Chains A and B, each alone.
Chain A
Amino acid sequence: MTATVEENTEAKPGAVPTFEVTLRIERYNPEVDDAPHFEDYRVTVHGTDRVLDALHQIKWDQDGSLSFRRSCAHGVCGSDAMRINGKNRLACKTLVKDVNPGKPITVEPIKGLPVEKDLIVDMEPFFQAYRDVMPFLVTTGNEPTRERLQSQEDRERFDDTTKCILCAACTTSCPVFWNDGQYFGPQAIVGAHRFIFDSRDDGAAQRLEILNDKEGVWRCRTTFNCTDACPRGIQVTKAIQEVKRALLTNKF
C-alpha cells in the first residue's frame, strides 16, 4: 500500500512528501462516557511519520485530552501497543503509510484488558500472569564465586524468548484470553520459556507445574495470533508448543 502523495513534492528535491490522513480513534473517558466511541481526527503527516507521530500531533495540536501510553517511542519499552486497523502493533514501529492511509486508520486500545481511558488499559492482570510464572533465576546449591557460565548453544536455546518487552500485544491478541481472562496468556508462557530452557536455571519443574494448570499451556489453540502480533518477531506459538512438549517428555 503506497501513500497518496500530494503534488507539491517537486518543490524541494529530497523533501519528504506529506499527505492527509484520518485517524479514527476509540475514545473513552470514564467520568463522562457510558461506553467507548470512535472519533475522527484529520492530520497532515510526512511519509516517514509513524502512527505515534500522528497521535502526538492530535494530542499536542488538536485535542489535549487524548490519552495514550508511550515512553521511549522507539520500540523498546513496550508502552504503546494498540490495535491499529484491527491488528495489535506498536504505534512507534508502524509507519502511517503502511497501514492503508487512503482510508481512515482505526486506533483502539488492546483488547481483553479493562480500559481505563482512551487507549490506556489496566495492565495489572497481564503483569500478574507474568509474576505467576516466576520470571527470575531460580537456583539450588552454593552460590558460585564467579559468573554462571553458559555455552553459546545453551544460550541460543532460549534466545528468541529473551526479546520480549512485555508490551502485551500477544496476550491481548489471543481469543482464548479475550473470553474470560483466566488463561495465563502467550506472554507469561514466553516469560516462563525464557527460564525453563535456561541451562543455569533450576526452577523448570516448578514453572512447568504452574503452566500445567487448567488455564496454562493446554488452553492454547495454536491460532498464531500471538506470533503475528509480536512486534519483536518472537515465535510465540512455537515457544508455547515447546513448553507443552517439555511437559509431555517430563511425564513420560
Chain B
Amino acid sequence: MTATTSEPGLRPVQKSRYKRRSKGRGNFEMWSWVFMRGSGVLLLFLVFGHLFVNLMLGQGIHAIDFAFVAGKWSNPFWQVWDMLMLWLAELHGFNGVRTIINDYTEKDSTRWVLKTLLVVSALVVLVLGTLVIFTFDPCVDPGSTLSQCK
C-alpha cells in the first residue's frame, strides 16, 4: 500500500539529521525481532488455550466467578500458564510500542519521555501481575465459604 500523505511543511530539513548516530554493535534489534516472532506464536497457543478452557469447557462462561479463578490459581500448572501469558503478552506489547515510538517520534526528548512512561507502565503490570498470581490467597476472608478454604 502506498501512503499518499504530503507534508510540505516538514521541508526543508537540516542535513545533520541524516548522520547516523547509532554505533551499531550488539544484536539487540535482531533479538527483539526474533522475540516478536517467537512470543507471537507461543501467545497464539496460550491465549486460545486460555479462552477455550475458560469459555468453552464445562459450563463455559457461566462458570466464571471468584471461586473459578481461585480454583485455577491453586493449581501450579495454571499459575505457570498465566504467568507465561502475562510476561510474553506484556513484553510483546512493550516491544511493539517501543518500535512504534522509534518510528513515529521525531525529537529525542519526546522519545525519551514516551519510553520512560512505557517502561514504568510495563514494570507496574509485570510486578503486580506476577505478585498476584503467586501470592493470591482465596481464603484471605475468614468467612469464606469456598471449598478450598475448609
Contacts and interface: CB of A to CB of B under 8 A. Distances in A.
Question: A-side binding surface: helix, strand, loop or mixed?
Answer: mixed
Interface range for A: 35 or more
B30 A115 contact: no
Given A111-B6, A224-B1, A251 B106 contact: no
Contacts of A26: 8
Contacts of A35: 8-9
A124 interface: yes
B150 interface: no
A223 B3 CA distance: 10
B8 A216 contact: no
Nearest to B8: A36
B44 to A, nearest CB: 19
Nearest to B9: A35
A175 B3 contact: yes
Contact of B30 (A111, A210, A251): A251
Interface residues of B, number: 29
A2 interface: no
A83 B7 CA distance: 13
Interface of A: 26, 28, 30, 35-37, 83, 86-88, 108, 111, 114-116, 122, 124-125, 128, 132, 173, 175-176, 179-182, 184, 209-210, 212-216, 218-219, 221, 223-225, 228-229, 244, 247-248, 251
Given A35-B9, A219-B102, A225-B2, 20 more contacts: A114-B12, A114-B13, A116-B12, A125-B18, A132-B20, A179-B103, A181-B13, A182-B20, A212-B29, A213-B22, A213-B24, A213-B29, A214-B24, A215-B24, A218-B30, A218-B32, A218-B33, A219-B29, A247-B30, A248-B34
14 contacts: A35-B8, A37-B8, A87-B4, A114-B15, A173-B2, A179-B106, A180-B17, A210-B24, A212-B24, A213-B20, A224-B1, A225-B3, A229-B2, A251-B27
